[in-house]
């Protein structure tokens, strides 16, 4: 573990006038607060903030940022408070630490909503001070480096979150080195087999081409010496994730990839970049369509470089990047390279030193957060943030020459919303390079786009599936919601009224007011609309209004003692199986009556065979039997089913089955009933009402026979058990619209 003086020395190497007192104070405070806490690896917890601080010293960050790194987990994981940190280190430092603290006390129904709210809080803190982002990324990087100590499910969740949010965010901020490492570690845990295969193939190719790479490097260096250009030439190899993503996206094999290796040419000035390019293109042929000048049109994350591909020495395609030392530094460290420290005015803790806000990447981030923060719900925010983080871009122009950067695959609709939300909402057509083109046209680099508008236009909901930018998707969704809000709101209200009534509760809109924070919605109309759109389930609303609510069955059977010889099949909910000609034997020391649980092999086949019901269904309370269907699993029949006569001469296919319903089970079971009803308007509604009021569910319905006065229909319903089914049939018979109601067997 790094000692106090070692940390100070690391900062002194690049910042001789370091504020030692601040670093020492933060070191001691964090160490005291974390005390004897341990990480999953068994290491002292304090080793984690120290490693985060070390990562930031490699990026040459100021002492205030290093101090925040030491303190970043204190509010979240210790007894430290914001007020205490404000008092000891100043309110600015306290604000930075709080920005890195997860919202622990969120009382939200959905896990996704919780994740989204934490991300929203983090991004809002980042938009005020980019140092929050740098500490967060360093924190995530160290967590990823030590991910092997976590549980497998947690490893996968953290790796997916890193791949979806934090790695693209690092890329958007121009921090390519950090992005590549985060992607590589996440890839290793998300798809270990693919990672291993790609890594091995890359190692093989590198060994095979080592001589060619040296040859190309020498040829390029000799060329620059000839033209008296001071340049450093280095070869680089694509990272495993970058290779895998390209193979997947373009359906290429390993052998078809032409840019596994590339060369970086670093020169002193911008003028030298273009001189080097001229020397290369006059010596070797350029591959058409593979030239990009990001010096004249930088990427949104401030990335500047010239990219070209040539047919170089040995007649091989060679990918080149030409840039200055400054550009190379920005390409590697992104916003961290723009460390313009302003005069602190003699502040003791150095917290007044801030990173420059003049970078394109940071300006993009603040602008994006402002746009996304307008989203109606946290799930939208999460989805749209992920959309905005992808980096591949095309550059298009307005008729007046304004440059608009868009993700690859963008359409004129995305372009319209990038110009202004109002332009997008009123868009009815587009001219691309002077020609009227469909709105689904994929834009290319250099396209000039003119948007045709109409005042009365409302963006169609179908546009949401066409656009690729988060801003456009959020705006379309918002406009669509507003257009049909009343419709969905009314439907949501009816759904909730019915759900509350079914559970013996009274629904009122006022009862939703206190639980809006739990549902992560702004107002009552939002809740109703979300329920109407299917974004929020009525059960979640019920749980929020009545915390003690449970989705209980009408009848709960008494738990039974499991007997010897009965076993479960993994995907057969609520059933035990007794295999023909086989009893389970008790092992030594195994108590009598205890059955072996888990999957059971059936005639050499794995025990997770598909288990399904016969068309007529079966419900708890029925005597049932299982029939092995070769190649398709086990079919469950009620013992009274006439279909069983077909298997009389095949006793080896019969399996004893018995119900074993867990009292916490929430699964309904299928049954088929025949209902003869009066042929009059409203009869079907009456039948459906009886079924709904009895907490049963209609799965399918078909008309079998229609006469002038009566209609016979077959209804596949889902009920809890036999008692539930019997009560339902009894009430159907009592209904004035029903002549007869009976269960169908076979």
527: nearest Cα among 507, 541, 539:
541
DSSP secondary structure string for all residues of 76-98:
HHSS--HHHHHHHH-HHHHHHHH
Name residues whose C-beta falls within 8 Å of residue 296's C-beta, 6 or more positions apart in sequence.
none
> For residues 634 and 572, is the Cβ–Cβ distance under 8 A?
yes
Q: Can you tell me the distance from the alpha carbon of 166 to that of 593, in angstroms, rounded to the nearest whole number? A: 53
Helix (H, G, I), strand (E, B) or coil at 34: helix
Name residues whose C-beta falls within 8 Å of residue 722's C-beta, 6 or more positions apart in sequence.
619, 620, 621, 622
Catalytic residue, from 43, 77, 181, 686: name it: 77
* Structure tokens given for 222: 């000799």
Cα angle 353, 181, 294 (rounded to 5 degrees) comes to 70
Sign of the C-alpha dihedral computed for residues 735, 736, 737 and 739 taken in this order: positive
Sign of the C-alpha dihedral computed for residues 524, 525, 528 and 534 taken in this order: negative
63 belongs to the catalytic site: no
Helix (H, G, I), strand (E, B) or coil at 15: coil
* Integer CA distances (angstroms), 744 to 615, 675, 676, in order: 10, 10, 13
Q: Can you tell me the distance from the alpha carbon of 357 to that of 335, in angstroms, rounded to the nearest whole number? A: 9
DSSP secondary structure string for all residues of 585-624:
PP-TTPPTTPPPPS---BTTB-S---EEE-TTB--BTB-E
Phi-psi region of 262 (alpha: psi -120 to 50; beta: other; left: phi over 0): beta
Name residues whose C-beta falls within 8 Å of residue 134's C-beta, 6 or more positions apart in sequence.
56, 59, 61, 65, 335, 336
Cα angle 216, 219, 225 (rounded to 5 degrees) comes to 140
* Structure tokens given for 96: 């930075």
Catalytic residue, from 76, 326, 332, 695: name it: 76
Q: Can you tell me the distance from the alpha carbon of 377 to that of 114, in angstroms, rounded to the nearest whole number? A: 11
266: nearest Cα among 311, 230, 312:
230
Residue with tokens 């304004």: 402
76 belongs to the catalytic site: yes
> For residues 19 and 109, is the Cβ–Cβ distance under 8 A?
no
By CB atoms closer than 10 A (0-12, 13-18, 19+), residue 385 is buried
Q: Can you tell me the distance from the alpha carbon of 225 to that of 221, in angstroms, rounded to the nearest whole number? A: 6
Angle of the 470-502 helix axis to the 683-693 helix axis, nearest 10: 80
* Structure tokens given for 441: 């046209």
* Nearest-10 Cα torsion for 655, 660, 666, 671: 50
By CB atoms closer than 10 A (0-12, 13-18, 19+), residue 224 is buried
For 148-181, give the secondary structure using H, E and C: HHCCHHHHHHHHHHHHHHHHHHHHHCCCHHHHHH
DSSP secondary structure string for all residues of 302-352:
----EEEEEE-GGG-EEEEEEEEHHHHHHHHHGGGG---PPP-SS-TT-TT
Q: Which residues are catalytic?
A: 76-77
């Amino acid at each position: 573990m790094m000692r106090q003086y070692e940390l100070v020395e690391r900062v002194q190497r690049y910042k001789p006038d370091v504020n030692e007192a601040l670093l020492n104070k933060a070191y001691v405070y964090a160490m005291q607060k974390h005390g004897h806490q341990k990480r999953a690896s068994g290491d002292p917890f304090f080793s984690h903030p120290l490693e985060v601080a070390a990562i930031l010293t490699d990026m040459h960050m100021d002492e205030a940022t290093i101090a925040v790194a030491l303190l970043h987990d204190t509010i979240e994981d210790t007894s430290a408070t914001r007020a205490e940190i404000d008092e000891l280190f100043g309110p600015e430092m306290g604000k930075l630490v709080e920005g890195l603290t997860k919202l622990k006390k969120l009382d939200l129904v959905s896990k996704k909503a919780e994740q989204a709210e934490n991300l929203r809080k983090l991004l809002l803190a980042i938009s005020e001070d980019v140092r929050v982002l740098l500490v967060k990324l360093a924190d995530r990087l160290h967590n990823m480096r030590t991910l092997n100590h976590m549980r497998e499910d947690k490893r996968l969740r953290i790796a997916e979150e890193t791949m979806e949010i934090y790695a693209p965010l690092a890329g958007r901020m121009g921090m390519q080195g950090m992005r590549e490492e985060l992607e590589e570690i996440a890839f290793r845990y998300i798809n270990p087999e693919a990672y291993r295969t790609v890594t091995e193939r890359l190692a093989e190719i590198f060994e095979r081409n080592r001589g060619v790479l040296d040859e190309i490097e020498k040829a390029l260096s000799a060329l620059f010496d000839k033209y008296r250009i001071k340049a450093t030439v280095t070869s680089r190899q694509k990272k495993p994730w970058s290779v895998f993503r390209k193979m997947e996206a373009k359906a290429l094999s390993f052998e078809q990839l032409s840019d596994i290796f590339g060369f970086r040419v670093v020169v002193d000035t911008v003028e030298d970049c273009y001189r080097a390019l001229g020397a290369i293109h006059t010596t070797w042929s350029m591959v058409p369509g593979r030239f990009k000048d990001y010096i004249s049109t930088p990427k949104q994350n401030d990335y500047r470089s010239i990219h070209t591909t040539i047919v170089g020495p040995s007649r091989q395609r060679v990918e080149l990047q030409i840039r200055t030392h400054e550009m190379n530094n920005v390409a590697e460290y992104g916003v961290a390279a723009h460390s313009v420290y302003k005069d602190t005015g003699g502040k003791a803790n150095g917290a007044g030193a801030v990173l420059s806000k003049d970078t394109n990447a940071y300006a993009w981030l603040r602008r994006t957060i402002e746009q996304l923060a307008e989203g109606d719900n946290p799930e939208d925010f999460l989805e749209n943030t992920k959309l905005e983080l992808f980096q591949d871009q095309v550059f298009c122009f307005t008729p007046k020459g304004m440059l608009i950067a868009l993700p690859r695959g963008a359409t004129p609709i995305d372009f319209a919303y990038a110009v202004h939300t109002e332009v997008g909402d009123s868009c009815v057509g587009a001219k691309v390079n002077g020609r009227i083109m469909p709105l689904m046209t994929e834009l290319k680099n250099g396209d000039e786009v003119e948007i045709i508008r109409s005042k009365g236009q409302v963006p169609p909901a179908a546009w949401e599936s066409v656009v690729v930018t988060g801003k456009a998707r959020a705006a379309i969704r918002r406009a669509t919601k507003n257009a049909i809000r009343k419709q969905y709101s009314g439907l949501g209200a009816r759904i909730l009224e019915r759900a509350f009534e079914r559970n013996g509760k009274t629904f009122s809109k006022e009862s939703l007011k206190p639980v809006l924070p739990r549902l992560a919605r702004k107002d009552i109309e939002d809740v109703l609309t979300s329920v109407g759109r299917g974004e929020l389930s009525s059960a979640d609303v019920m749980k929020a209004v009545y915390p003690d609510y449970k989705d209980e069955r009408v009848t709960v059977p008494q738990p039974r003692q499991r007997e010897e010889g009965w076993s479960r099949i993994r995907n057969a909910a609520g059933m035990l199986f007794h295999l023909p000609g086989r009893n389970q034997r008790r092992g030594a020391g195994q108590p009598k009556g205890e059955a072996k649980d888990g999957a059971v092999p059936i005639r050499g086949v794995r025990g997770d065979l598909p288990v399904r019901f016969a068309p007529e269904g079966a419900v708890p309370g029925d005597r049932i039997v299982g029939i092995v269907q070769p190649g398709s699993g086990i079919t469950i029949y009620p013992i009274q089913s006439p279909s069983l006569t077909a298997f009389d001469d095949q006793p080896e296919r019969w399996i004893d089955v018995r119900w074993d319903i867990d009292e916490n089970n929430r699964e309904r079971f299928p049954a088929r009933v025949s209902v003869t009803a009066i042929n009059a308007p409203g009869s079907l509604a009456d039948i459906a009402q009886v079924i709904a009021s009895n907490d049963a569910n209609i799965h399918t319905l078909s008309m079998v026979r229609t006469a002038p006065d009566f209609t016979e229909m077959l209804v596949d319903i889902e009920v809890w058990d036999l008692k539930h089914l019997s009560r339902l049939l009894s009430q159907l018979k009592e209904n004035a619209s029903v002549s007869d109601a009976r269960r169908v067997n076979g």
